[in-house]
Amino acid sequence: MAELFLEVRCEEIPAGMLQAGTRELATRLFEELMSRQLPARTVETAFTPRRLIVTLDGLADQEPDREEEVVGPPVSAAFDDQGEPTRAATGFARRCGVEVEELTRVQTEKGEYLSAVQRTEGRPTIELLAELVPQILASLSWPKVMRWGAGEGPWVRPVHGIVALFGGQVIDFELFGVTAGNETSAHPWLSDGTFAVESAADHGRKLARRRIVVKVENRRKKIQDEMARLAAAVGGRPVEDEALLEKLACICEVPGVVEGSFDPAFLELPREVLVTSLRDHQSAFGVESDAGLLPRFLTVMDRADDPAGRIQAGNEWVVAARLEDARFFYQEDRKKPLSERSAELEHLSFHARLGSYADKTERLVQLGEVICESLGRADLADEVKSAARLLKIDLVTEMVKEFTSLQGVMGGVYAREDGASDEVWQAIYDQYLPASTGDAIPSGPVGQIVGLADRIDTLVGIFGIGLKPTSSKDPFGLRRAAQGVVRIALEGDLAMDLDLIAAKAFQLYGDRVTVRGKEILEAWRPFLFDRVRYLLGLEGYAYDEIEAALAVGGTNLPDVKARVDAIHTVRDAPGFLPVVLAAKRISNIVKDAAEQSFREDLLVESAERDLYAAFRSLREETEAAEAQGDFVSCLRQIAGFADGLDRFFVEVLVMDENVELRNNRLALLQSIQRVLSRTAELTRIVVDRSEHRDD
């Protein structure tokens, strides 16, 4: 068994492309070798901004011989009337490297054909790699590629060197004018020239002696620890930002940390502006203490130290200039309050066919009021309308034009400075939450209501002009918007019919939308339910529990969640499985039957009379429990109905020859089905999961 070690050295690759490129290289190498019956025992990857590294260990030094049955021409064309082989037969035999006499006959769907066993002798693995490695490297799928020199490429960045070893031997190939060998180099400006390597372990040791850290997780840890140490020395800690830490670990291979300072006068800027300017312009962490931000920052340098202080001085110069820009934008924005800039939204397009952001704002004001009415929270209407009027104004501010990631946030900051109530400015600040499954929802009911209104308005408008997302494209982020609707409704416990809100949103668009309202709702409901399935599935609910609740719960999502909870709680209770089975049986019996009228005087069997009495009691009890939202009690009552149903099916013939009796029994089962299906569609419950229960 031998080791394949591959390192490609190039100019700096953008941080966001490194991990995916290295993973694709390793995956494709592994899969190509597996397809040739050359499995690797282990696969390891590493990368720095200037190198991709893949190691596959435990490879055999030669492909195994292969035998493959090849089907040739039909027998009818392979032999003439005298049974002599035709050119079709001899040509096929020659291509397969066998004699005609060695050909066999096989029966296929199309008739009898000739076949041959073609034997392929396995090649040395190193020869195979000389073909595979350059092919795979040249065809990696980078988001952007370039050419260089005399037209070499295309690839993500110019290639300067390749180390390709199999069992310590150089794999002989050339790519982009570079010949693979066994020599590499460390840092392009700090290294001592090239040096030979013999294996992955030797490569790692020799780079480590030159302070190159090839594993991104090790660079991340070293940067994090050093930043914590330097921040603690000035009485602070780095501002938490996992995404920035990940980026910094990807843009250096000698992970050094540089600290710097800036004029404390810049601390007068809002915290959000300072932190964002440092992050976006200089890939730097702010430093904070319990009292607030400190006039310090931390970033990486691609070297271990800065003896002359030039790196620190350069970073401080750039940071000062960027913060001065931010101060200018802030001062320009503060020349008048947000409320006096609403007219500027008329010149900012929401969508060419759906109007401006001024139009959207007017819809949000009305839609927010409708949501308040639906929730019975008229007391929130004034604050909701105030937040809605200011919600999008920060899109025309200089700060948001410079830092698009601050949209919403700056609106909240400016509204707070303008004297808006805590509920209003926080609602504006939180309007884009949740942006992902890891985010919290808006922190208060006002923010939750305007967040819902904003997303529903967008969903209905885009659906209304026929631009639903496809399986591969979602340019307007509608899946994220729908997921936000679901999370806000569920986690905020906003019990209302979202279909009614969507219908109101449709009305507010007027003739701007071209799709009929009914068609919009028919498209929006399953789109919304897909997000419900996903989010409740993440919480651990079984898919059949979710489906059973969705079938009756409508778009009141807290109500749906309560039904799912009830099914999850009761499904293991004694008696529930038999009721589920009975519900499925009832559904099969009545599915093709016309609606029948029930008459109590036609109950002739004691089992059906007892069942009817139990049913009346069940109906009253479940109606009372459901009115209180106590779905667990509803399902427990239904589980207790099992014995009567079981006795009925044993002792009573539903499809009696007497038409009156048959129709009356069908009418009874139809009534029972309606009651059994009010809390959840029990026929959606998968019985196989419950086989362990007592009958």
Task: Indicate if the pLDDT at residue 695 is higher than 70.
Answer: no
What is the predicted pLDDT for the residue at 54? 98
Task: Indicate if the pLDDT at residue 417 is higher than 80.
Answer: yes
Out of 85, 103, 120, pick the residue that ends a domain: 120
Residues 577 and 501 occupy one common structural domain: no
Query: Cα separation of 675 and 677, whole Å?
Result: 5
Sign of the dihedral through C-alpha 250, 253, 258, 262:
negative
Q: How are beta strands 292-302 and 183-185 bridged, if at all?
A: unpaired
The pair of three-digit structure tokens given for residue 510, joined into one six-digit string: 């007027």
Average pLDDT, the chain: 93
Query: Cα separation of 356 and 351, whole Å?
Result: 7
Query: Cα separation of 66 and 107, whole Å?
Result: 23
Query: CA-based angle 443:363:359, to the nearest 5?
Result: 115
CB 653 within 8 A of CB 608: no
Contacts of 660 (CB under 8 A, 6+ apart): 602
Task: Indicate if the pLDDT at residue 689 is higher than 50.
Answer: no
Residues 186 and 326 occupy one common structural domain: no
182 is in which domain, residue-wise?
2-62+124-209
CB 372 within 8 A of CB 461: no
In a domain? residue 557: no
Q: How confident is the model at residue 646 (pLDDT cuts 50, 70, 90)?
A: confident
As a whole-number percent, the residues of the chain with pLDDT over 90 amount to: 77
> Torsion angle, CA of 454/455/458/463, rounded to 10 degrees?
-150
Q: Under the phi-then-psi rule, with left for phi > 0, alpha for psi from -120 to 50, and beta for the rest, what region is 168?
A: left
Q: Is 39 helix (H, G, I), strand (E, B) or coil?
A: coil
Residues 421 and 500 occupy one common structural domain: yes
Residues 262 and 367 occupy one common structural domain: no
Q: Point out the least confidently predicted range of 64-73, 290-299, 616-625.
A: 64-73
In a domain? residue 679: yes
Residues 136 and 201 occupy one common structural domain: yes
Residues 45 and 137 occupy one common structural domain: yes
Residues 619 and 659 occupy one common structural domain: yes
Residue with tokens 């003739």: 511
CB 274 within 8 A of CB 241: no
What is the predicted pLDDT for the residue at 97? 81
Mean pLDDT across the stretch 622-649? Answer: 89
Task: Indicate if the pLDDT at residue 694 is higher than 50.
Answer: no
In a domain? residue 259: yes
In a domain? residue 551: no
Bridge partners (DSSP) listed for residue 71? 115
- Comparing C-alpha atoms, which of 273, 272, 256 is closest to residue 307? 256
Query: Cα separation of 376 and 518, whole Å?
Result: 26
What is the predicted pLDDT for the residue at 581? 87
Mean pLDDT across the stretch 37-63? Answer: 95
Mean pLDDT across the stretch 586-595? Answer: 87
Mean pLDDT across the stretch 299-317? Answer: 94
Query: CA-based angle 139:144:147, to the nearest 5?
Result: 75
Residues 446 and 519 occupy one common structural domain: yes
What is the predicted pLDDT for the residue at 688? 61
pLDDT tens-place string over residues 321-379: 999 999 999 999 999 999 999 999 999 999 999 999 999 999 999 999 999 999 999 99
pLDDT tens-place string over residues 501-510: 999 999 999 9
Mean pLDDT across the stretch 514-542? Answer: 92
- Terminal-residue alpha carbon distance, the chain: 58
Query: Cα separation of 345 and 266, whole Å?
Result: 30
- Element (DSSP H or E) covering residue 120: strand 111-120
Residues 291 and 149 occupy one common structural domain: no
CB 126 within 8 A of CB 167: yes
- Comparing C-alpha atoms, which of 539, 653, 662, 666 is closest to residue 596? 666
Is the bond into 154 cis (omega within 30 degrees of 0)?
A: yes
pLDDT tens-place string over residues 160-184: 999 999 999 999 999 999 999 999 9
Residues 204 and 224 occupy one common structural domain: no
What is the predicted pLDDT for the residue at 100? 87
pLDDT tens-place string over residues 427-479: 999 999 999 888 999 999 999 999 999 999 999 999 999 998 988 889 999 99
Report the CATH number at residue 588: 1.10.730.10
Residues 639 and 570 occupy one common structural domain: yes
What is the predicted pLDDT for the residue at 693? 44
Sign of the dihedral through C-alpha 20, 23, 29, 32:
negative
Q: Is 47 helix (H, G, I), strand (E, B) or coil?
A: strand
In a domain? residue 315: yes
Tell me the Cα Rg of the chain.
Answer: 35
50 or 590, which is more confident: 50
Mean pLDDT across the stretch 201-205? Answer: 95
- Rounded to 5 degrees, φ, ψ at 115 are -145, 160
DSSP annotation of 323: H
- Comparing C-alpha atoms, which of 413, 392, 435, 418 is closest to residue 273? 413
Q: How confident is the model at residue 45 (pLDDT cuts 50, 70, 90)?
A: very high
Query: Cα separation of 159 and 29, whole Å?
Result: 19
Ordered strands of the 2-10 beta sheet:
42-48, 51-59, 2-10, 159-166, 169-170
Q: Point out the least confidently predicted range of 85-94, 257-266, 649-658, 683-692.
A: 683-692
In a domain? residue 83: yes
In a domain? residue 556: no
**Chain Cα centroid distance, residue 534:** 10
**Chain Cα centroid distance, residue 680:** 29
Query: Cα separation of 592 and 590, whole Å?
Result: 6
Any idea how long the chain is?
Answer: 695
Q: How confident is the model at residue 517 (pLDDT cuts 50, 70, 90)?
A: confident
Q: How are beta strands 146-148 and 237-238 bridged, if at all?
A: unpaired
As a whole-number percent, the residues of the chain with pLDDT over 70 amount to: 99
Ordered strands of the 104-108 beta sheet:
66-74, 111-120, 104-108
What is the predicted pLDDT for the residue at 690? 43
Query: CA-based angle 398:400:404, to the nearest 5?
Result: 145
- Element (DSSP H or E) covering residue 108: strand 104-108
In a domain? residue 547: no
What is the predicted pLDDT for the residue at 692? 41
- Element (DSSP H or E) covering residue 53: strand 51-59
> How many domains are contained in the chain?
5
